[in-house]
Amino acid sequence: MRYTGLINHYKDRLPVDENTKFISLGEGNTPFIRLENIPALLGKEVDIYVKYEGLNPTGSFKDRGMTMAVTKAVEAGSKAIICASTGNTSASAAAYAARAGIKAFVLIPEGKIALGKLAQAMMHGAVIIQIKGNFDDGMRLVKEVADHAPVSIVNSINPFRLQGQKTAAFEIVEELGDAPDYHCLPVGNAGNISAHWMGYKEYQQDGKAKKTPAMVGYQAAGAAPFAKGEMVDNPETIATAIRIGHPQSWDLAHKVEKESNGWFDAITDEAILAAQKLLTEQEGIFCEPASATSLAGAMIDIKNGKIPEGSTIVCTLTGHGLKDPDTAIAQCTNEMILINPVMDEVKNAILNNM
């Protein structure tokens, strides 16, 4: 049967009924890839899988939540949606609003969103409001303005977002036949880690999984309120997607940490970029910097034994590498070769570089 998106696939587990019109772009059902080369480099016996959420329709996991949030907004008669965003939510909101024929307003921090994400929001025709401030300022404004203008908020404080996003956990359990031992995610607002935990618990309660994983949230060191135990007023990181100092799902995420026996930790920008590069060079998988935070953190905790040998680990790769071409190119040191259009020069270029 043709796959037509996650709401249709999991409609029995989502808040929809036979009258709901699904607003979908075929999101979900993303590749689940076993790492072949990186575990050996770590010198540890571990099974690492990545859930490649960058292969959703707009290139990030946000589509899982956005299909639900926009479906429910349209069902409720809404003609416009609004979000604050570090980039991916705005791209996704813009696309699903276009699909639904409604308006999207997106608040983004001026100069701090990756180029690909900006291109998406512009192409889909969203109204782009740049803020002379950061994501946290945008979030505060969105919450305030929703009481004064006819717009539905589609940030992850919208409970339908988490309902859609929990389906990633369902897919993982279906692939593995059970939950993994550890599930590592990059954390910003902590909506996604909370949504995954909902999904794992639901599958365990219904007997579809025997266990639940320890949920491990990694943040960029310059934007690590969970690891620090307090809000951060001026978050900074190269991983702009998770440049957040005042996470919206603060209490929810602490509950996840406790219930799942998981933990939070902070990862340096250097380690994040190194993991992004390693994944592209060793496994052929290109994710954006924020996404590589999950693998960067997992590698540290595998090496130091916090994640023991024999474990099955899933790392979510939240967004595609093409989202942020500037950061990608800036970290590549390999020189390009320029030649005249003659065979000898191509031949030499090959032979000199074998």
Q: Which is nearer to ligand F0G, 189 or 237 (CB)?
A: 189
CB 317 within 8 A of CB 51: yes
Residues near ligand F0G, by CB under 6 A: 60, 62, 85-89, 156, 186-192, 241-242, 288, 290-291, 318-319
Q: Which is nearer to ligand F0G, 43 or 111 (CB)?
A: 111
Max Cα separation, the chain?
Answer: 69
Q: Which is nearer to ligand F0G, 71 or 120 (CB)?
A: 120
Find the shortest distance in angstroms from Cβ 318 to ligand F0G.
Answer: 3
Q: Which is nearer to ligand F0G, 69 or 178 (CB)?
A: 69
Q: Tokens representing 182?
A: 């550890």
Q: Tokens representing 185?
A: 């995610």
Q: Is 334 annotated as a binding residue?
A: no
Neighbours of 69 (CB within 10 A): 30
b (16+ CB within 10 A) / e for 104-119: bbbbbbeebbbebbbe
Q: Is 207 annotated as a binding residue?
A: no
Find the shortest distance in angstroms from Cβ 191 to ligand F0G.
Answer: 4
Q: Is 88 annotated as a binding residue?
A: yes
- Angle at which helices 62-75 and 88-100 cross, to 10°: 40
CB 231 within 8 A of CB 246: yes
Find the shortest distance in angstroms from Cβ 48 to ligand F0G.
Answer: 18
Q: Which is nearer to ligand F0G, 92 or 178 (CB)?
A: 92
Would residue 315 be called left, alpha or beta, if left means φ above 0 and alpha means ψ between -120 and 50 degrees?
beta
What are φ and ψ of residue 54, in 5° steps? -65, -15
Q: Which is nearer to ligand F0G, 100 or 114 (CB)?
A: 114
Radius of gyration of the chain (CA): 20
Find the shortest distance in angstroms from Cβ 150 to ligand F0G.
Answer: 22
Q: Which is nearer to ligand F0G, 242 or 271 (CB)?
A: 242
Q: Is 318 annotated as a binding residue?
A: yes
Neighbours of 199 (CB within 10 A): 26
Find the shortest distance in angstroms from Cβ 333 to ligand F0G.
Answer: 24
Find the shortest distance in angstroms from Cβ 192 to ligand F0G.
Answer: 3
Q: Which is nearer to ligand F0G, 24 or 85 (CB)?
A: 85
Find the shortest distance in angstroms from Cβ 141 to ligand F0G.
Answer: 14
Kindly give, in sequence order, each residue whose CB lies less than 8 Å from that of residue 109, ignoring residues fewer than 6 positions away: 86, 130, 131, 133, 134, 135, 137, 138, 243
Q: Is 189 annotated as a binding residue?
A: yes
Task: Please name the helix (run of DSSP H) or strand (run of DSSP E) that holds residue 104, with its range, or none.
Answer: strand 103-109
For residue 131, give Cα distances in angstroms to 128, 134, 241.
10, 7, 16
Find the shortest distance in angstroms from Cβ 188 to ligand F0G.
Answer: 3
Q: Is 192 annotated as a binding residue?
A: yes
Of 22, 25, 315, 3, the residue nearest 168 (C-alpha): 315
Task: Please name the helix (run of DSSP H) or strand (run of DSSP E) that holds residue 129, with its range, or none.
Answer: strand 127-131
Residue carrying structure tokens 């607002």: 189
Q: Is 134 annotated as a binding residue?
A: no
Which residues line the annotated binding site? 88, 188-192, 318
**Residues comprising the binding site for pyridoxal 5'-phosphate?**
88, 188-192, 318
